[in-house]
């Protein structure tokens, strides 16, 4: 019993002692445990890398990884994450050591090491993958031809976003044939498979032009592992419907849809199955809309020039010899002729690969001459693709209009009006009895052709464009029966006009239409124009031989003759007619943009002529013979500014005239009364007497008293008019311009001069009442617009009002006095413009009682109205429910945009809803106090105003730095009494819910003036969301503004769609945005910050958020990664003239640039120490043990650092003061792509898009690039242009000893100015990478000794030969220490070198080594 007791007592004593000993061992063996963990982690990392390489190889072969292997890798990754957290805590413990922390960390290290050993002992199969599975749809389909071009990525990402939207049921992808719709859909399928199973099933069926329901059903069923054996389509549809509903989430793709498919007939449960989504591809937007697509139609356009060239090069491959300049030139011409159409590029590219290079010129000529079907492969793939779209057009009329477009040159802006006039001349329109109806029909056809992508939009009014390949196909179709068109362009490159074979081609008896472009009319051409069946002849930009007289005599059935940009004066002077075979058949004669001279003998015999146009031609007299054209329906003399004579009686004889166009033309109208002789001019009474048929009148009048005939006012059919009346100025040289915008103009009236005089004329009153577009320009004797011009009529038809340069008008209407008897004022007014209306006081004076007035106003622009104090009263603002755009500029007295008048209800502002306003410009309004200041809360409330310490980084030595987040190290923000005067006070923020573009410029008086200075832009007090649709924000010259955003509430949401941010000359700004707003700017794509002289940081942490930020920093060892504007997808990131900018983000964070930046410029930021600092991947602390402490310390004071991360890294990052790296503990293995080294620019990731980098006047920068090599490193491989200037401390462009074997392969231009410490541009190792470098320019670098430096340490070895295959220009200027291009040890090869410019380089004895090959 005693022994048992002793034994028990012994165990009671031993176990606590052992337990205590074990716990003490964690403290005693602290260093040993850490080292042991470091060793086993290294072994585990080696094993993980071996397994990962096997996994990667298996994936490349399409195999699936075994679950055991994947689980092992996941577990190992978790161990490394825990080790990273431990490493972070170890380094924090070094700054604040304690026994408790040593115990905890040692114990954690011991436990992790045990788990590591278990994973090392775990046996894994040598075969890490399963056999290749049966392929799913995404892996079966081919996406040949799809490249990650920006134009494609944007459309595809939008489509994917729509598919992810739960409310979306159907989307459409539209584009012309061959543009790549199906290829894009296949890529979408592949990407959907890479997401988190957005759909359980994805099925695809090709519908094609001939719809076969059974085929569609079968293709969908087979994709779902289902067999349909039934014969009845309805039963098959029912079964398929039931099967599809079993899939919770299914995407059904219907490719190549030509006409609306009834989904219920197929069996697709559209509408009653929320998990079923449809994706259509079609060449016809109308089909998509018919099938339910409304807002989700995504348009695929042709590739731009650069993308087309990249696709061409990828298709041609090695067949394209970059060292053959002629072949390269021909290849680029061929690619250009394809005009970005992928199917044409790929087809022609494959043809070029299979033929001799000497035949490439022939292919180019065939494309240039619009003969695509001759090229092998084009007939089947391209020609048939586009012809099918043509065949499916609805009618012969629309087909005829389409073919008429091919009569014009490539890339031409084709006026739609030509289709009207040519079509009428050839009588292609059925059941059309007026020209106006024909015009409307043609515009309807054009809309249909554009929606089917056979025609393209033009930037010119009432014009369209035709894709060159489509035009080639159209010419090919039109050249065959039954059309027989011939289109030839004889430009300088093609042979001038005497090219062999022209006569043979043109001598065709069956031609119905001929278009000759850039041709010289002589016997070589016109002898061949024996075309008895020719109906249309168009000559464009051609010249004529006056000696030849048989041009057109054998054209017996000619109906349309068009001369465009032809100098005919000499020819017409020598001939008595156009020598037409049978002129009686001619219906349309267009002599436009021509130099005509006397045309009286041309007109004489054209008895059946219906359309006659001299638009924009040089002609001084309309011949009397025009009066004999009794069937003439249209006379167009638009913009004939030299026309001075129209004999009396000519116009009055044209009794069937429907349309008369004389805008900006004849002005010498004669009086209606008095004796008439041969010298008398036509009168306006003649024009107005044509009221029986006249539908359209465009005319300019210099004397309103000539407009006395009121007969046409009695017409039952109202006339469409474009009338300008000017009584105050000379009607000749100084006459005002009121150009006709096109042939679909609204009823338009422009008045200039004495308004009282106008109102005495009945015709003017009629025009005023019927006007849809009214312009008052330099008018006088008019004070109140609506009351004086339209009485109580209220301008019921007016859509556009423009008042310019007026010194009398005070307001547009008086709201209090408006008693229209039930009629509102301006009920359909859409646009209003007031410019230089110097006495304008109100748009509407007083309270507006009628709620329908102005209710359709969409756009208002006010510029230079000196007396205006506010734009709208609250009562008018309530009516503006359709307002979309507001622009107020240069109004010296404007204090508010919306103002509450005395008689208006205090709560009326709550009824203002501008939900449609998308564009707001406020410019040069020096007295503006706010958008709306009524009902504003006390304007003297206290705001948190940062003093200098709130932005300046505390100047402490690194030895004094305390734990991140402690009081002493935080930026201090003092609360200072300051009046908050907001441009957008909180009481009007909710009105602007859908604003997309905001431009603010020069809104406040200079600080120190007596005016109250606006110091805040957005006061977000009391708002949890705002400006969620804003995309563009520009703020220029806001002198007193200290905060762009203020009073951001916790949890606030908004500004998340801002794409463009442009801030310039805001001198009081010390920071760009608070941290709360920064977090919301997730879609920013463009940043431009310039001349903000006091800006010290980009992102500021306010006192309310700084603690949280520091806590986040403490969690990750003070190394939080702030990627500035993480989705930056921009052309330009620009920082310039920021003399006080020191840093980018709060202290707790490191700063990273987004990897997708394309163009970056950093100019004149002298206090900016680095361009970037790369923290460790995710939460790793910085490590730099491979550098000496002194080097690190020096770089910390003047430079930056960078790293690569495991998943790809950002191109630029921000370095901040940090603890010395000598105190860091490292337990993770130092492998490439993990450690952080010190630099300014880091390795780019696969998504890196940087194309241009400009760095200038940054006085502290020492190094530009450091790149750490990984197996997939392609460092800055899209960088094309590098500019470095005025960098006095720059010692290396590429970090010395840089170890990298790829990257920078697209650099074309390297230009360096005034970098005084730079001794060479690049090392031999870097030189080997610069295979595309074309231009080197170096100026005023006083220390520069060589362009290519010596081989550096770190294991660099280089062959003795240096080759620059594309280098063609070298400029070296003012380099006093330069001795040579490179060491004599190297042989230089530069086969493309054309020019070397060396100036001011006194030490240069031999520019290059003797062993030189050029």
CA-to-CA distance for 205 and 1396, rounded, in angstroms?
61
pLDDT beyond 90 at 776: yes
How many Å apart are CA 171 and CA 1092, to the nearest integer? 45
CB 722 within 8 A of CB 767: no
Res 521: pLDDT: 63
Could you tell me the pLDDT band of residue 634, with boundaries at 50, 70 and 90? very high
The pLDDT confidence band at residue 180, using thresholds 50, 70 and 90, is: confident
Does the structure show a pLDDT above 70 at 971? no
Q: Give the pLDDT of residue 710.
A: 64
Predicted local distance difference test score (pLDDT) of residue 946? 38
Q: What is the rounded CA–CA span in Å between residue 776 and residue 750?
A: 6
> How far is residue 882's CA from residue 915's CA, in Å, rounded to a whole number?
8
Structure tokens at 461: 């009014």
Tokens encoding 484: 């027989």
Question: Exposed/middle/buried for 957, CB within 10 Å: 0-12, 13-18, 19+?
Answer: exposed
- Rounded distance between C-alpha atoms, residue 785 and residue 811, angstroms: 7
DSSP 1149-1200: EEEE--TT--EEEEES-TT---S-B-PPSTTPPP--TTS-HHHHHHHHHH--
Please state, in angstroms and as integers, the Cα–Cα distance from residue 832 to each residue in 9, 835, 841, 1059, following that order.
Answer: 101, 10, 16, 29
pLDDT at 497: 38
pLDDT band (50, 70, 90) for residue 1371: very high
pLDDT bracket for residue 27 (50, 70, 90): confident
Averaged pLDDT for residues 299-312? 87
Residue corresponding to tokens 């993958």: 129
Lowest mean pLDDT among 483-492, 732-741, 742-751: 732-741
Instruction: Give the per-residue pLDDT at 961.
Output: 29
Between 1094 and 1126, the higher pLDDT residue: 1094
Q: What is the pLDDT of residue 1036?
A: 95
Length of the chain: 1414
Of 111-125, 981-995, 1221-1235, the poorest mean pLDDT is in 1221-1235
Distance, in Å, from the CA atom of 1112 to the CA atom of 640, rounded to the nearest integer, reads 73
pLDDT-derived band at 656 (thresholds 50, 70, 90) equals: very high
CA 328 distance to own-chain centroid: 30
Rounded Cα distance between 403 and 479, Å, is 10
> Which sign, positive or negative, has the C-alpha torsion 60, 66, 69, 75?
positive
* Token pair of 1105 as six digits: 């958020």
Locate 358 and state its tokens. 């000497």
422, 634, 614: which is closest to 535 by C-alpha? 422
CA distance 637 to 662: 5
Check pLDDT > 90 for residue 1183: no
Angle at CA of residue 637, ends 632 and 643, nearest 5°: 125
Q: Is the pLDDT of residue 727 over 60?
A: no
Cα separation, 326 vs 562, in Å, equals: 39
Tokens of 1361: 């030969």
Among the listed residues 267, 242, 221, 206, the one whose alpha carbon sits nearest the alpha carbon of residue 229:
221
At 613 the pLDDT is 95
Between the alpha carbon of residue 138 and those of residues 75, 223, 251, 908, 1309, the distances in Å are: 30, 11, 12, 58, 41
Query: Which residue has 């005034």 as its token pair?
Result: 1314
Token pair listed for 724 = 């300008």
- What average pLDDT does the segment 1232-1241 reach? 29
Q: And the tokens for 908?
A: 């009326």
Rounded Cα gap, residues 118 and 425, in angstroms: 91
The better pLDDT of the pair 955, 151 is held by: 151
Q: Which residues contact 597 (CB under 8 A, 6 or more apart)?
A: 568, 569, 572, 573, 619
pLDDT band at 1090 (very low <50, low <70, confident <90, very high): very high
Percent of the chain residues topping a pLDDT of 70? 73
pLDDT one-digit tens code per residue, 434-443: 999 999 999 9
pLDDT attached to residue 1337: 96
- Does the structure show a pLDDT above 50 at 495? no
The secondary structure element, H or E, covering residue 445 is: helix 435-451
DSSP bridge partners of 703: none
Kindly report, residue by residue over 225-238, the tens digit of the pLDDT. 888 888 888 999 99
Residue 538 · residue 511 · CB < 8 Å: no
Please count the other Cβ atoms lying within 10 Å of the Cβ belonging to residue 359.
Answer: 12
Q: What was the pLDDT predicted at 272?
A: 83
Question: What is the spatial distance between Cα 311 and Cα 304, in angstroms, rounded to a whole number?
Answer: 11
Q: What confidence score (pLDDT) does residue 902 get?
A: 65
What is the mean pLDDT of the segment spanning 996-1024?
A: 80
User: For residue 386, is the peptide bond before it cis, meaning its omega torsion is within 30 degrees of 0?
Assistant: no
- Spatial neighbors of 596 by CB under 8 A, at least 6 apart, are 568, 569, 572, 614, 617, 618, 619
Give the separation between CA 270 and CA 280, rounded to whole angstroms: 13
pLDDT at 968 over 90: no
98-146 residue pLDDT tens: 777 778 778 888 888 888 888 777 777 667 777 544 444 444 344 454 5
Lowest-confidence pick of 101-110, 498-507, 1069-1078, 1139-1148: 498-507
Q: Which is more confident, 214 or 94?
A: 214
426 has pLDDT over 90: yes
DSSP 686-754: HHHT-TTT--EEEEEES-GGG----GGGG-SSPPEEEEEEE-SS-SSTTPPP-----SS---EEEEEEE
Give CA 451 to chain center in angstroms.
21
Average pLDDT over residues 1201-1225: 33
What are the start-end ranges of the H helices in 575-704?
A: 600-603, 684-688
Model confidence at 803: pLDDT above 60: yes
The mean pLDDT of 891-900, rounded to a whole number, is: 90
Q: What's the confidence (pLDDT) of residue 100?
A: 75
Looking at mean pLDDT, say which of 340-354, 892-906, 1241-1255 comes out highest: 340-354
- Mean pLDDT lowest among 698-707, 845-854, 1161-1170: 845-854
Lowest mean pLDDT among 368-372, 660-664, 894-898, 1252-1256: 368-372
795 phi and psi angles, rounded to 5 deg: 50, 65
- Residue whose entry in the numeric block shows the structure tokens 């069946």: 533
Q: What's the pLDDT score for residue 1061?
A: 93
User: Which has more confidence, 131 or 893?
Assistant: 893
Residue 1307, judged by CB atoms within 10 A of its CB (0-12, 13-18, 19+), counts as: buried
Cα–Cα distance list, 943 to 970, 1016, 1202 (Å): 20, 10, 38
SS (H, E, C) 1268-1314: CCCCCCCECCCCCEEEEECCCCCCEEECCCCCCCCECCCCCEEEEEC
Look up residue 682 and give its DSSP letter.
P
pLDDT tens for residues 1290-1342? 998 887 766 666 778 889 999 999 999 999 999 888 888 898 899 999 999 99
């Amino acid at each position: 019993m005693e022994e048992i007791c002793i034994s028990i007592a012994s165990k009671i004593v031993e176990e606590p002692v052992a337990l205590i000993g074990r716990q003490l061992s964690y403290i005693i063996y602290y260093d040993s445990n850490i080292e042991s963990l470091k060793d086993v982690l290294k072994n585990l990392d080696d094993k993980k890398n071996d397994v990962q390489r096997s996994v990667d190889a298996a994936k490349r072969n399409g195999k699936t990884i075994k679950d055991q292997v994947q689980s092992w890798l996941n577990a190992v990754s978790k161990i490394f994450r825990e080790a990273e957290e431990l490493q972070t805590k170890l380094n924090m413990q070094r700054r604040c050591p304690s026994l408790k922390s040593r115990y905890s960390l040692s114990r954690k290290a011991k436990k992790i090491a045990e788990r590591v050993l278990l994973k090392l002992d775990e046996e894994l199969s040598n075969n890490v993958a399963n056999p290749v599975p049966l392929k799913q749809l995404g892996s079966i389909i081919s996406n040949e031809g799809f490249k990650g071009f920006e134009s494609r990525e944007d459309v595809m990402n939008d489509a994917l976003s729509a598919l992810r939207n739960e409310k979306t049921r159907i989307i459409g992808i539209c584009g012309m044939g061959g543009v790549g719709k199906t290829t894009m859909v296949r890529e979408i399928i592949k990407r959907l498979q890479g997401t988190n199973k957005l759909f359980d099933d994805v099925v695809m069926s090709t519908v094609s032009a001939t719809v076969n329901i059974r085929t569609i059903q079968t293709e969908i069923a087979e994709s779902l592992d289902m067999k349909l054996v039934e014969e009845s389509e309805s039963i098959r549809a029912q079964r398929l419907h039931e099967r599809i509903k079993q899939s919770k989430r299914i995407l059904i793709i219907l490719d190549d849809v030509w006409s609306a498919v009834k989904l219920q007939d197929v069996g697709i449960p559209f509408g009653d199955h929320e998990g079923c989504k449809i994706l259509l591809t079609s060449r016809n937007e109308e089909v998509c809309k018919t099938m339910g697509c409304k807002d989700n139609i995504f348009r695929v356009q042709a590739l731009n020039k650069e993308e087309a060239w990249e696709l061409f090069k990828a298709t041609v491959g090695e067949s394209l010899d970059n060292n053959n300049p002629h072949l390269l030139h021909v290849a680029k011409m061929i690619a250009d002729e394809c005009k970005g159409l992928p199917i044409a590029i790929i087809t022609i590219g494959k043809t070029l690969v299979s033929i001799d290079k000497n035949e490439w010129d022939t292919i180019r000529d065939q494309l240039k001459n619009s003969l695509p079907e001759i090229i092998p492969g084009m007939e089947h793939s391209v020609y048939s693709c586009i012809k099918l779209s043509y065949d499916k057009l609805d009618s012969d009329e629309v087909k005829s209009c389409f073919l008429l477009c091919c009569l014009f040159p490539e890339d031409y802006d084709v006026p739609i009006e030509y289709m009207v006039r040519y079509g009428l001349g050839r009588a292609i329109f059925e059941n059309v009895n007026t020209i106006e109806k024909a015009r409307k029909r043609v515009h309807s056809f054009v809309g249909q052709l554009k929606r089917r992508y056979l025609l393209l939009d033009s930037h010119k009014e009432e014009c369209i464009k035709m894709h060159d390949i489509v035009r080639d196909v159209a010419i090919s179709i039109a050249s065959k029966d039954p059309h027989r068109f011939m289109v030839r362009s004889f430009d300088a490159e093609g042979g001038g006009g005497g090219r062999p074979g022209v006569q043979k081609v043109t001598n065709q008896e069956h031609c119905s239409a001929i278009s000759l472009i850039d041709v010289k009319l002589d016997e070589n051409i016109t002898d061949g124009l024996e075309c008895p069946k020719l109906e249309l002849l168009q000559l464009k930009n051609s010249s004529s031989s006056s000696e030849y007289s048989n041009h057109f005599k054998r054209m017996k059935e000619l109906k349309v003759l068009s001369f465009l940009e032809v100098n005919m004066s000499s020819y017409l002077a020598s001939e008595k007619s156009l020598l037409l075979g049978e002129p009686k058949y001619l219906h349309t004669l267009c002599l436009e943009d021509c130099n005509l001279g006397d045309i009286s003998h041309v007109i004489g015999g054209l008895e059946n002529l219906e359309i006659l146009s001299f638009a924009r031609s040089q002609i001084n007299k309309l011949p009397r013979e025009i009066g004999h054209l009794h069937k003439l329906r249209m006379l167009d003399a638009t913009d004939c500014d030299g026309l001075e004579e129209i004999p009396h009686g000519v116009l009055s004889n044209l009794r069937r005239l429907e349309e008369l166009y004389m805008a900006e033309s004849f002005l010498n109208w004669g009086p209606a009364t008095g004796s008439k002789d041969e010298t008398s001019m036509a009168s306006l009474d003649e024009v107005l007497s044509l009221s029986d048929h006249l539908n359209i009148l465009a005319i300019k009048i210099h004397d309103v008293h000539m407009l006395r005939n009121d007969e046409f006012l009695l017409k039952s059919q109202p006339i469409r008019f474009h009338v300008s009346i000017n009584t105050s100025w000379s009607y000749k040289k100084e006459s005002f311009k009121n150009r006709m915008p096109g042939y679909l103009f609204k009823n338009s009236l422009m008045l200039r001069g004495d308004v009282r005089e106008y109102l005495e004329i009945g015709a003017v009153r009629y025009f005023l009442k019927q006007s849809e577009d009214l312009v008052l320009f330099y008018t006088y004797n008019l004070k109140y617009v609506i009351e004086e011009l339209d009485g109580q009529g209220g301008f019921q038809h007016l859509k556009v009002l423009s008042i310019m340069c007026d010194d009398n008008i005070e307001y547009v209407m008086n709201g209090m006095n408006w008693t229209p008897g039930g009629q509102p004022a301006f009920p359909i007014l859409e646009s209003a413009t007031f410019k230089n209306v110097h006495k304008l006081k109100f748009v509407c004076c007083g309270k507006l009682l009628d709620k329908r007035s102005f209710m359709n106003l969409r756009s208002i622009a006010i510029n230079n109205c000196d007396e205006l104090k506010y734009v709208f009263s609250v009562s008018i603002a309530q009516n503006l429910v359709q307002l979309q755009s507001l622009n107020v500029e240069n109004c010296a007295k404007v204090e508010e945009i919306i103002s509450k008048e005395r008689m208006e209800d205090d709560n009326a502002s709550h009824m203002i809803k501008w939900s449609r306003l998308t564009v707001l410009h406020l410019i040069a309004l020096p007295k503006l106090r706010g958008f709306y200041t009524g009902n504003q809360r006390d304007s003297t409330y206290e705001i948190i105003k940062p003093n200098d310490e709130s932005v300046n980084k505390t100047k402490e030595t690194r030895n004094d730095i305390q734990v991140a987040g402690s009081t002493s190290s935080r930026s201090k923000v003092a609360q200072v009494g300051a009046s908050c005067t907001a441009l957008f006070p909180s009481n009007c923020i909710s009105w602007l819910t859908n604003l997309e573009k905001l431009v603010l410029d020069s809104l406040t008086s200079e600080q120190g003036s007596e005016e109250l200075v606006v110091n805040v832009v957005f006061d977000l007090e009391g708002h949890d969301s705002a400006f969620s649709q804003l995309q563009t924000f520009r703020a220029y010259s806001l002198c007193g503004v200290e905060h762009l955003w203020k009073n951001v509430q916790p949890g606030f949401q908004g500004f998340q769609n801002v794409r463009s941010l442009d801030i310039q000359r805001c001198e009081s700004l010390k920071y760009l945005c608070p941290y709360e707003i920064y977090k919301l700017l997730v879609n920013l794509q463009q940043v431009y910050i310039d001349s903000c002289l006091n800006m010290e940081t980009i992102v500021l942490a306010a006192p309310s958020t700084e603690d949280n930020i520091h806590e986040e920093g403490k969690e990750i060892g003070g190394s939080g990664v702030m990627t500035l504007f993480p989705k930056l997808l921009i052309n330009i990131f620009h920082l310039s003239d920021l003399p006080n900018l020191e840093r980018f983000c709060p202290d707790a964070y490191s700063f990273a640039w987004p990897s997708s930046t394309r163009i970056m410029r950093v100019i004149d930021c002298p206090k900016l120490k680095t361009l970037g600092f790369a923290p460790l991947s995710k939460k790793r602390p910085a490590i730099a043990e491979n550098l000496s402490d002194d080097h690190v310390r020096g770089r910390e004071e003047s430079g930056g650092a960078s790293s690569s991360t495991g998943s790809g890294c950002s191109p630029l990052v921000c370095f901040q003061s940090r603890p010395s790296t000598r105190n860091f503990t490292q337990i993770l293995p130092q492998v490439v792509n993990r450690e952080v080294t010190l630099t300014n620019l880091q390795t780019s990731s696969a998504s890196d898009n940087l194309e241009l980098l400009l760095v200038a006047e940054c006085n502290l920068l020492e190094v530009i690039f450091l790149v750490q090599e990984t197996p997939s490193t392609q460092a800055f491989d899209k960088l094309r242009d590098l500019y470095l200037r005025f960098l006095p401390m720059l010692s290396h462009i590429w970090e010395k000893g840089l170890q990298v074997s790829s990257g920078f392969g697209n650099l074309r231009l390297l230009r360096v100015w005034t970098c005084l410490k730079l001794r060479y541009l690049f090392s031999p190792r870097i030189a080997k990478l610069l295979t595309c470098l074309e231009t080197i320019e170096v100026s005023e670098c006083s220390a520069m000794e060589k362009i290519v430096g010596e081989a550096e340490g770190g294991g660099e070895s280089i062959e003795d030969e240096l080759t620059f295959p594309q280098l063609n220009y070298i400029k070296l200027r003012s380099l006093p220490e330069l001795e040579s291009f490179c060491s004599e040890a190297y042989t230089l090869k530069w086969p493309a070198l054309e020019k070397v410019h060396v100036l001011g380089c006194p030490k240069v004895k031999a520019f290059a080594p003797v062993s030189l090959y050029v």
